[in-house]
Amino acid sequence: MLTGEIRNQIDRIWDVFWTGGISNPMEVIEQLTYLLFIRRLDEIETLEEAKANRLGQKRERTLFPQDKQHLRWSHFRNLPAADMYKVIADEVFPFIRTLANGDYAVHMRDARFTLPPEKANLLTRVVEMLNNVPMEDRDTKGDLYEYLLSKLTTSGQNGQFRTPRHIIKMMVELVKPTPEDTICDPACGTAGFLVAAAEYLRDHHPEIFQKEKLRERFRGEMFHGFDFDSTMLRIATMNMLLHGIDDPVIRNQDSLSEDAMANAGQYSLLLANPPFTGSLDYDSTAKDLQAVAKTKKTELLFVALFLRYLKPGGRAAIIVPEGVLFGSSNAHKAIRKTLVEEQQLQAVISMPAGVFRPYAGVSTAVLVFTKTGAGGTDNVWFYELQADGFSLDDRRTPLGEGHDRNNIPDLLLRWDNFLAEGKRARTEQSFLVPRLEIVEKSYDLSLNRYKEIAFETLVHNPPGAILDELKLLENEIQKGLKELQELL
């Protein structure tokens, strides 16, 4: 758990960057990511040394050869400012770019140390402050980095913002990951969905850590994330590392390209919030996706991609802009028809427009479906999420508990008691809609197309009676005025 004191320490480190003239939040997080990575390498080396000494065994390989020991965090952090800067800029960064240790090293090869020499004192202060932040246990390390990433949301620079953590957690709980799953986010950003899935597995499937095969799989190959932003990939790999996932598959890849189709049919669980905006040329898009939905709209192409990536029986929970639910183009209708007729569409969760404020006011929805290739949609569950626990303005202030403030606990409870939803009226917050009715409405998936509004009947007195009441009131007023005049 991240204590208030640790939060304050991170805030102070952030302030040091900003007062030192480093004001781009993405750059701050990137530089802090590098420093955390360097500190983590030293921690791993120290643990391996202790293990070898305890067992009396000689290590086959070390991260830091004998001539590189001065590049370890525990060594250079005590140097004077100018010397520390020179070691980090001229030796540590070139060194971490040459490490051949999985995807982390691949992403770190593009790492750039952007602090200028005149900021040597700032670097010293940051290293000292980071060294005082306790990072002994996984929960603290993970929560610390999540708190750092939340600065992207509050800052809103460079168009970078994350899916709110509570929405990610809600989606993970809808699909309930299992130890047998191979989990993928084809537009992973900071890897928030992968981290949340890992935390769910830790909480609900302790057997992962009791069986060596499951434990090894959990450490890496269970989790796959793709993005084409190298900065996001570095942040994503560090996020996974600090949450105890040592070797996930995090790759630089345009998921909509022809090359990405090599991943088709490999995953049993997809969690994603793909890009909402932007169009692509047909030539740059995989032909398999165009076969599902001939369009340039990225939000539709990503839905087609998810269907290609899933194994038969694989599940998905994805965020789409509301237009996907009712768009009238042939591509919109085709993708909805595919979900309803060829797969098993299970849920459409309408979310309020304020969920992504202050960066986007677009209304969104969560789609939950299973890839079957042979249909299976009987009833689709609709839920109108009206409150997510935060104000829906640009400030997104926490509102506390209570159904009127946060519908998510109710949503999850009703999802777990799915059969009872068949008794709910269309005037309720959630209800089931038969597939045939959706077909009759041209596969429209917007909640308002099926929700019924209950109007309250108001009874008014006839005009004559109202006039009689007004006359009585007027007489009482005149009587009161006369009595007041007599008193004066």
pLDDT tens sequence across 382-419 = 999 999 999 998 888 888 888 889 999 999 999 999 88
Show the beta-strand stretches assigned E in 167-309: 183-185, 223-227, 249-252, 267-272
Tally Cβ neighbours within 10 Å of residue 263: 19
Question: 310 and 344 share a domain?
Answer: yes
Whether pLDDT at 137 is above 70 = no
- The model's confidence at residue 444, banded by pLDDT at 50, 70 and 90, is very high
pLDDT band at 225 (very low <50, low <70, confident <90, very high): very high
Alpha-helical regions (H) of 256-340 = 287-292, 298-309, 323-326, 330-337
Q: What is the DSSP letter of 88?
A: I
Residues 223 and 270 in one domain: yes
Question: What single string gives the DSSP state of each residue in 333-349?
Answer: HHHHHIIIIISEEEEEE
How far apart, in Å, do the first and last CA atoms of the chain sit? 74
> Could you tell me which residue, 303 or 285, shows the higher pLDDT?
303
Least confident of 96-105, 111-120, 455-464, 472-481: 96-105
415 and 362 both lie in a single domain: yes
Question: Among residues 141, 174, 189, which one ends one of the domains?
Answer: 141
Confirm whether 460 is domain-assigned.
no
CA 335 to chain centre: 24
Task: Quote the CA–CA distance of 372 and 357 in Å, as a whole number.
Answer: 35
Q: Are residues 137 and 164 in the same domain?
A: no
The domain that holds 292 is classified in CATH as 3.40.50.150
Does residue 150 lie in a domain region?
Answer: no
Q: Which residues pair with residue 406 across a beta bridge?
A: 388
Q: What percent of the chain has pLDDT over 90?
A: 42
What per-residue confidence (pLDDT) applies to 289?
67
State which of 141, 175, 193 marks the end of a domain: 141
Percent of the chain beyond pLDDT 70? Answer: 88
- Are 278 and 385 found together in one domain? yes
Task: Give the number of domains in the chain.
Answer: 2
Residue 154: inside a domain, yes or no? no
Residue 449 contacts residue 441 (beta carbons within 8 Å): yes
Whether residue 165 has pLDDT greater than 70: yes
In-domain check, residue 476: no
Query: Of 97, 112, 141, which one is at a domain's C-terminal end?
Result: 141
Does 239 fall in a domain?
yes
Residue 150 above 80 pLDDT?
A: no
Entry pTM: 0.81
Assigned domain for 96 exists: yes
Residue 324's pLDDT band (boundaries 50, 70, 90)? Answer: very high
CATH of the domain at 103: 1.20.1260
Question: At 384, phi and psi to the nearest 5?
Answer: -100, 100
Based on the domain organization, do 266 and 369 belong to the same domain? yes
pLDDT of 154 over the 70 cut: no
Give exposure, 230-250, as e/b (b: 16+ Cβ within 10 Å). ebbbbbbbbbbbbbbbebbbb
Residue with the larger pLDDT of the pair 443 and 469:
443
In a domain, 430, yes or no: yes
Choice between 419 and 79, residue whose per-residue pLDDT is larger = 79
Q: Between residues 315 and 283, which one has the greater pLDDT?
A: 315
Res. 158: pLDDT tops 50: no
Structure confidence at residue 160 (pLDDT): 42
CA distances from 240 to 33, 135, 320 (A): 12, 15, 25
Q: What is the mean pLDDT of residues 466-471?
A: 83
> Do residues 179 and 125 both lie within one domain?
no
Phi-psi region of 184 (alpha: psi -120 to 50; beta: other; left: phi over 0): beta
Q: Would 356 be classed as within a structural domain? A: yes
For residue 147 the two structure tokens come to 């708190």
Per the structure, the complete domain to which residue 90 belongs is given by 4-141
- What is the pLDDT at residue 93? 86
* Model confidence pLDDT, tens digit, residues 97-134: 776 456 666 766 777 788 888 889 999 999 998 888 87
pLDDT digits (tens, 9 = 90+) for 25-69: 888 888 888 888 888 888 888 888 888 888 888 776 678 888 999
Same-domain pairing of 212 and 307: yes
Q: Which of 57-61, 438-442, 463-467 has the highest mean pLDDT?
A: 438-442
What's the pLDDT band for 292 if we cut at 50, 70, 90?
low
What would the pLDDT profile of 326-339 be if each residue is shown by its tens digit? 999 999 999 999 99
pLDDT of residue 61: 67
Q: Residues 243, 392: one domain?
A: yes
pLDDT in tens, 344-354: 999 999 999 88
Query: To the nearest whole number, what is the mean pLDDT of the chain?
Result: 85
Residue 413 and residue 280 share a domain: yes
List, as one string, the DSSP characters of 129-188: HHHTS---SHHHHHHHHHHHHHHHHHH--TT--PPPHHHHHHHHHHH---TT--EEETT-
Query: Is residue 159 very low, low, confident or very high in pLDDT (cuts 50, 70, 90)?
Result: very low
Same domain, 112 and 175: no
Residues 204 and 169 in one domain: yes
pLDDT of 155 over the 60 cut: no
